[in-house]
Amino acid sequence: MKKHDYIKYLAAGVFFLMMLADGQLTRFLEKWTQDNYIASAHLLLIALLCGAKYLPKNFLITTALVIGCLYDVYYVGVIGIYTVAFPLIVWIMYILKNTLYQNVFTMFFGMIIFVTSLEVVTLGVQLLFKIASVSTSFFVSRFLAPTLLLNILLFILLVIPFMKLFKDE
């Protein structure tokens, strides 16, 4: 069996595991910083970014929709926020495919933009529906900055393994 025959099944499992690892790593870092900083891991988003280069568009958008729904049920408790956000971000990845995948640096800056967009949009929706309340200064200094720092480190560590995993050879 060729790698491309089973890569979709492998990718779906990897995305699910990354979703679970996101939550565990985030909770661990919250406890480690004694809840002073909240660094939200986005292993799933990094995996989706790497997968979008090689995997079919319809498959990845559908997978992002399902994983987003599971993410909402498991972490947020309100279905809709990540169910819409993840497929939308994956769709944008495909729109920007020619620019985004020129080299690892464009992917890196794309990841920063996608993580920032995801956090701002999901917080905006949560504020709109009064699911959360947070000040702008707290969001930027205690949440967004540590989140970006963590995901920059995760990207540096995982971009090559993820690219090799999803590459169809």
Residue 2: predicted pLDDT:
56
Overall average pLDDT of the 111-132 stretch:
92
Overall average pLDDT of the 41-51 stretch:
97
Residue 79 has pLDDT above 90, yes or no: no
Contacts of 26 (CB under 8 A, 6+ apart): 38, 39, 40, 41
SS3 129: coil
**What torsion, rounded to 10 degrees, do the Cα atoms 61, 63, 67, 72 define?**
40
Q: Over pLDDT 90: what percentage of the chain?
A: 80
Residue 7 has pLDDT above 90, yes or no: no
Overall average pLDDT of the 62-76 stretch:
94
Residue 99: predicted pLDDT:
96
Residue 168: predicted pLDDT:
73
Q: How far apart are the C-alpha atoms of 23 and 38, rounded to whole Å?
A: 12
Residue 20: predicted pLDDT:
96
Confidence category of residue 75, pLDDT binned at 50, 70, 90: confident
Residue 144: predicted pLDDT:
96
What is the DSSP track for 39-105? ----HHHHHHHHHTTTS-HHHHHHHHHHHHHHHIIIIISSTTHHHHHHHHHHHHHHHTHHHHTSSHH
pTM: 0.93
Cα separations (Å) of 115 from 48, 88, 118?
12, 13, 5
Q: How far apart are the C-alpha atoms of 7 and 159, rounded to whole Å?
A: 17
What element of type H or E holds 107? Answer: helix 104-128
- Neighbouring CB atoms inside 10 A of 70's CB total 17
Overall average pLDDT of the 90-105 stretch:
97
Confidence category of residue 11, pLDDT binned at 50, 70, 90: very high
Give yes or no for a contact between 13 and 117, defined as CB atoms under 8 angstroms apart: no
| 91-95, 130-134, 135-139: the lowest-pLDDT one | 130-134
